[in-house]
Amino acid sequence: MSATPLLDRVHLPADMRQFSRAELRQLADELRKETISAVSVTGGHLGAGLGVIELTVALHHLFNTPDDRLIWDVGHQAYPHKILTGRRDRIRTLRMGGGLSGFTRRSESEYDPFGAAHSSTSISAGLGMAVARDLSGEKRNIVCVIGDGAMSAGMAYEAMNNAGAMKSRLIVVLNDNDMSIAPPVGAMSAYLARLISSRKYLGFRAFAKRLMAKLGRFLFDKARRAEEYARGLWTGGTLFEEMGFYYIGPIDGHNLDHLLPVLANARDAKVDGPVLVHVVTQKGKGYAPAEKAADKFHGVTKFDVITGAQAKSSAKAPSYTKVFAESLMAEARKDEKIVAITAAMPSGTGLDLFAHEFPNRCFDVGIAEQHGVTFAAGLASEGYKPFAAIYSTFLQRAYDQVVHDVAIQSLPVRFAIDRAGLVGADGATHAGAFDVTYLATLPNFVVMAASDEVELRHMVATAASINDRPSAVRYPRGEGLGLEMPVEGTVLHIGKGRIVREGSKIAILSLGTRLQEALKAADQLAAMGLPATVADARFAKPLDEELITRLAATHEVLITIEEGAVGGFGAHVLHFMANAGLLEAGCRVRTMTLPDIFQDHDTPQAQYAAAHLAAADIVATATAALGRESQWATNRA
């Protein structure tokens, strides 16, 4: 007999719309089991999804999805949603090559109306959908489920401010799963939430408004504000009321007897403008190992369902993230002006280690990269040495602040850019493809890329020494090479690369960790009688113009290679060579970059192979430039 008999009957949300409340409770239990089972096989995000099991069931039961739009913010809450929306048969392909995305994705299902992998976008997108609905004269609900972590970002409040003023019908569900703004207090809280969302209350409220309007504007405004504050004081929703939302809650997000009537009332309410339903949930709910874990199993590798023990890879070397953290700590021990900043990613950036040793010099600003960058600029303006450790794709969210608040003022903010290059299972939304392009274009910016963990240590020391302009060091996700680490980093000569191997025919100029592939390619080229020089550029800006000039003058072919998009390091090299007249001297130049597409999730190795940035691709590029493709093909065969 199946362990999930009700879930087996649900192929699409319409299949559960006639379920009784008792059946919905059973369905939620089965959905929780299936989510745990699936993620134990694939790894991924678990805790947030377990916290919204009942909410997911209630929303799909009550709303006519996909015609009613259901937006998850962020997408890692949405694994249970995927199971209920026709993707259960593929749920064990999550985050694998050719499988389901770990986030919501428009191209994957009509039940994913908006792709969400970065946080705090749901209310903005939902408001846009609501206005589009109104302009088209259509009738549908727009529901945004936003986590409380996402509510720490300014974009969410910008959207709420706009939504409150627009008076467009929108339902926002605040999934309060970490720190409750106002904790639910059992039966009384549930009663009040049902009361203030009921048709009777809303009808009486409308009648009272009409009556008070006849008594004059002054009394009307006073009565309206008194009523809103009364509800706000009872429920904790005064802030949302002030922003123009009709607030309902807080309610227990795991109690379907509370959830179903309140969400039904919110769906049917005759309220002008947006409604916010405050739902309190528990990350990891219903799975004991997750409930006990400090991170509530937010992100996990494959694990044993019975014990919760996660599979541990046998690391051959420390991760680049850990090397960065340890290198920064070494610098901070020597210089009390060094401080560190993260935007809600202390463990992801390694700054949890820094915070343990220097709790008063480490600042987590929440999901607020824009604020974090300008906060760092303020610290720098007062003589401190801030290191802003932010993922490459998250730094994109603060580009105006990087330009206006840091670069124009030439403030020495140091950007530690984790997850540079391709990132495997997290796919295009988290792939650091663009940071060299968007930083190296800024005047007076120092942009470094580490080719291995020793170079990363040197570059952290170098960044700490730069006090007259902004700087950045980029490094990938994953492990280093296992090299012996120096106790301290050495300050590098700004804008100077290094020769790693000498040759005479072909020059390979690498920026970042493709250096190892370049060395493999050099071995293969040498075996073909084509000796190759391999150089580590170290800096995308300023360029080592002397090195480039030398390589172009002494080799027949010059190849640049980088883990970044078109418009980055290779483009800067070509720009210099063109203006210096080096392209007319006979050296054939080729640039190797990430392809001009957003690459789907897969293993990093498969992604780089698909991007044609492996050793074999370097060899093919070199032999093609020399007109020896047939020789290479024969040797390869």
Residues forming the active site: 283, 369, 397
**Spatial CB neighbours of 136, under 8 Å, sequence gap ≥ 6:** none
- Do strands 506-511 and 557-562 pair parallel, antiparallel, or not at all (unpaired)? parallel
- Do strands 275-280 and 171-176 pair parallel, antiparallel, or not at all (unpaired)? parallel
Burial of 23 (0-12, 13-18, 19+ CB in 10 A): middle
Establish whether the linkage from the previous residue to 359 is cis, with ω within 30° of 0: no
The residue type of 27 is L
Length of the chain: 637
Long-range contacts of 500-505 (CB under 8 A, 24+ apart): 500/534, 500/535, 500/536, 501/532, 501/533, 501/534, 502/533, 503/531, 503/532, 503/533, 503/534, 503/555, 504/531, 504/533, 504/554, 504/555, 505/530, 505/531, 505/532, 505/555, 505/556, 505/557, 505/626
DSSP 491-543: PPPTT--EEEE--SSEEEEEESTTHHHHHHHHHHHHHTT--EEEEE--EEES-
| Cα–Cα–Cα angle for 73, 79, 85, rounded to 5 degrees | 100
Secondary structure (H, E, C), 425-470:
HHHHHHCECCHHHHHHCCCCCEEEECCCHHHHHHHHHHHHHCCCCC
Can you tell me the distance from the alpha carbon of 285 to that of 296, in angstroms, rounded to the nearest whole number? 9
Can you tell me the distance from the alpha carbon of 287 to that of 305, in angstroms, rounded to the nearest whole number? 9
| Residue 407 DSSP symbol | I
Can you tell me the distance from the alpha carbon of 78 to that of 87, in angstroms, rounded to the nearest whole number? 12
The conformational region for residue 65 under phi > 0 = left, psi -120 to 50 = alpha, else beta, is beta
List the one residue out of 89, 86, 130 whose CA is nearest residue 108: 86
What is the layout of strands, in order, in the sheet containing 532-536?
Answer: 498-501, 532-536, 506-511, 557-562, 588-592
List the one residue out of 542, 545, 538, 539 whose CA is nearest residue 580: 545
Torsion of CA 415, 420, 424, 430, to 10 degrees: 50
Evaluate whether 111 touches 81 at the Cβ level (below 8 Å): yes
Establish whether the linkage from the previous residue to 74 is cis, with ω within 30° of 0: yes
List the one residue out of 514, 610, 517 whose CA is nearest residue 568: 514
Evaluate whether 387 touches 414 at the Cβ level (below 8 Å): yes
Evaluate whether 466 touches 412 at the Cβ level (below 8 Å): yes
Evaluate whether 473 touches 463 at the Cβ level (below 8 Å): yes
Tokens linked to 395:
């730094």
